[in-house]
C-alpha cells in the first residue's frame, strides 16, 4: 500500500471541493449581508465599504484565502469532471433520472458561469478596469468644515469647501447605483446570482454529505436548507440591481 497516496483519491478531491465550498458559501452569505446595507443609504454603505478597504493586511489575507479556495475548487471540479466523463465512455441511449436534479447535473456549467462572472465582477467594481471613472467617485465625510479656504495637506495645497466633511473616501454607493442603472449590467448581475442559486441549491447539502453528515432524517432537512440558502441568496443579491433599475433606488446621487 506504500505507493498509494490517499491524498490523490477521489474522496480527498471531493473533500477539497466541499472544504473550499464551505469557505466560499460563508463568504457569499457575508457578502450578501454586507451588500444589503445599500438599502440603508449612502452613508452607511460607504462607511461599510471604507471599513473593508481599511483593514489592510486582513483584507489581503481574506483575498488570498478566497483566491486559493476558488483555484482549488475550480481545479478539482474540472479534474473530477474529466474523470467522471472517462468513467462512462459510452452513454445510454435512454436516460431516466429519479433523484438527481437538473441543477445537480449541471454543477460544472453553473460553476463556470459563476467563475466568469466573478472575473467580470472584480474587473467592474473592484479593479475598475471596465469603468475607470469609478475610481474618481469620492465622498466627503466626518466633521463638517465651518469655512472654505486653502489648506496645506502634507505639502499639497488643496481647496476645502464650507459645509463638507473633512475626510474623503471612495463613493461606493454612487458606483453601485451608476453601475446598475445600465440595464445590461443589472441583468448580467441578476443572471449570475440565478446561477449561484442553482449551484448552491445542490451544493450545500452535497457539501455536508461529502464531509460525512448524512442520514435518512438529516439529508432531506439539509436539502431544504440548501434550497433556502440558495434562493435566499438569489433574492438578497438580486434585490439590489432590481431596486436600482426598476424602483429607482439612489436616483438622487447620479442626478
Q: Across-strand partners of 159?
A: 150
Please give the residue ranges that form the binding site for other proteins (CB under 8 A).
1, 4, 6-7, 9-15, 80, 83-84, 86-100, 104-105, 107, 202, 205-206, 209-216, 219
How far apart are alpha carbons 205 and 99 in whole angstroms? 14
Q: Please pick, from the candidates 46, 178, 201, 206, the single residue that binds ligand HEM as defined by CB under 6 A.
A: 206
Task: Please give the size of the binding site for ligand HEM, defined by CB under 6 A.
Answer: 24
**Residue nearer to ligand HEM on the CB measure, 221 or 251:** 221
For residue 202, give the nearest of 186, 218, 222 by alpha carbon: 222
**Residue nearer to ligand HEM on the CB measure, 78 or 246:** 78
Q: Across-strand partners of 119?
A: none
For residue 199, give the nearest of 112, 84, 119 by alpha carbon: 112
**DSSP code per residue over 166-187:** EEEEE-HHHHHHHHHTSHHHHH
Residue 102 binds: one of other proteins, ligand HEM, none (C-beta under 5 to 8 A by kind): none
Q: Across-strand partners of 66?
A: none
Closest contact distance (angstroms) between CB of 126 and ligand HEM is 15
**Residue nearer to other proteins on the CB measure, 20 or 210:** 210
Assign 3-state DSSP to the chain and report helix, strand, coil percentages, each to 5: 70, 10, 20
Q: Please pick, from the candidates 32, 38, 42, 114, the single residue that binds ligand HEM as defined by CB under 6 A.
A: 114
- Which residues form the interface with ligand HEM (CB under 6 A)? 14, 17-18, 21, 24-25, 28, 73-74, 77, 81, 107-108, 111-112, 114-115, 199, 202-204, 206-207, 210
Amino acid at each position: 500500500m506504500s505507493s498509494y497516496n490517499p491524498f490523490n483519491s477521489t474522496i480527498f478531491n471531493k473533500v477539497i471541493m466541499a472544504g473550499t465550498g464551505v469557505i466560499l458559501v460563508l463568504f457569499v452569505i457575508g457578502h450578501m449581508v454586507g451588500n444589503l446595507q445599500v438599502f440603508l443609504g449612502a452613508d452607511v454603505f460607504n462607511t461599510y465599504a471604507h471599513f473593508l478597504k481599511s483593514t489592510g493586511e486582513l483584507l489581503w489575507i481574506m483575498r488570498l484565502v478566497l483566491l486559493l479556495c476558488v483555484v482549488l475548487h475550480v481545479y478539482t471540479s474540472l479534474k473530477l469532471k474529466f474523470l467522471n466523463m472517462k468513467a462512462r465512455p459510452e452513454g445510454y441511449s435512454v436516460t431516466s433520472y429519479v433523484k438527481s436534479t437538473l441543477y445537480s447535473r449541471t454543477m460544472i456549467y453553473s460553476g463556470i458561469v459563476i467563475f466568469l462572472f466573478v472575473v467580470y465582477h472584480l474587473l467592474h467594481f473592484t479593479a475598475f478596469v471596465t469603468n475607470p471613472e469609478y475610481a474618481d467617485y469620492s465622498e466627503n465625510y466626518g466633521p463638517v468644515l465651518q469655512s472654505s479656504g486653502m489648506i496645506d495637506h502634507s505639502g499639497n495645497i488643496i481647496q476645502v469647501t464650507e459645509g463638507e466633511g473633512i475626510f474623503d473616501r471612495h463613493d461606493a454607493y454612487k458606483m453601485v447605483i451608476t453601475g446598475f442603472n445600465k440595464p445590461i449590467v443589472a441583468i448580467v448581475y441578476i443572471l449570475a446570482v440565478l446561477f449561484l442559486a442553482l449551484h448552491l441549491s445542490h451544493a450545500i447539502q452535497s457539501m455536508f454529505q461529502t464531509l460525512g453528515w448524512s442520514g435518512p432524517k438529516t439529508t432531506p432537512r439539509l436539502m431544504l436548507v440548501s434550497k433556502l440558502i440558495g434562493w435566499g441568496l438569489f433574492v438578497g443579491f438580486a434585490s439590489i440591481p432590481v431596486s436600482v433599475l426598476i424602483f429607482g433606488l439612489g436616483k438622487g446621487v447620479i442626478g
